[in-house]
Chain A
Amino acid sequence: MRKTNNLILETAIKVLLFFIVLYSVYIFTAGHYYPGGGFIGGLMTAGAIVLLLITYDIKTVEELLPVNYRILTAIGLLFAIGTSAGSLLFNVPFLTHAFGDVHLPLLGELSLHTATLFDLGVYFVVVGVTMTIIQTIGEDE
């Protein structure tokens, strides 16, 4: 009986994981004007964590990322509800978002939107729900 291991995958994952997470962050921030956004960014991050789960096992990944994904989902919902309901304080309809142009030292002229915070909530919810589903289905005992 030969002993199987994932040597090639474990070596490749050390380089590949950074690219996937970096790309998910890029696609999250690009989402306001170009294809992308919180949903697909969260899906990419969940894909990176799934790749870790495939390469190693559930115990190693829990030591690596001690995150309770159900609490992450709740935090994401809190972000989404908070930024949506915050518009009610300024006497404008629900889900209205504000934006303004600011000048930052290194980045130059930026237009910052509160819609990004809403998208961050979507990101957390997608990561939390996807990882909860995969961990519940993936456990073999």
Chain B
Amino acid sequence: MIDIMIRLALVFCSISMLGLIYRVIKGPSVADRVIALDAIGVNLVAITALISIVLNSHAFLEIILLIGILAFIGTVAFAKYLEKGVIIERERNH
């Protein structure tokens, strides 16, 4: 029973990732694309966790934290680009 549920959850995560990829390509504004990319990172974490349950191994648990940190850095960089126009400044003006 739990096996079927985990496989169903994997299928639904994959479908939602396809929808998010559509939003990244089509998205009318930059903010839509950034939100969709962040959600793709969250979905990637979920899929990695589900696959590690299916394969019954704990080797992927460190990778989950890795994907989380890298997705966070990417989202912060995009947010700063949207707010200020530059990502890495030479000298702060305040």
Contact = CB atoms under 8 A, between A and B. Distances in A.
Contact of B59 (A34, A47, A58, A60): A34
A5 to B, nearest CB: 6
Nearest to B58: A34
A140 B89 contact: yes
Contacts of B88: 53-54, 57-58, 134-135, 138-140
B69 A57 contact: no
B76 A3 contact: no
Contacts of B60: 35
Given A57-B91, A139-B90, A4 B69 contact: no
Interface residues of A, number: 30
A60 to B, nearest CB: 8
A40 B70 CA distance: 11
A54 B59 contact: no
A18 interface: no
Nearest to B59: A35
B77 A54 contact: yes
Contacts of B86: 140
B56 to A, nearest CB: 16
Nearest to B76: A54
Given A9-B76, A51-B76, 11 more contacts: A6-B80, A40-B66, A47-B69, A50-B73, A54-B73, A54-B80, A54-B87, A57-B90, A59-B90, A135-B88, A140-B86
Interface in A5-25: 5-6, 9, 20, 23
Given A54-B77, A58-B89, A58-B90, A44 B84 contact: no
B62 A36 contact: yes
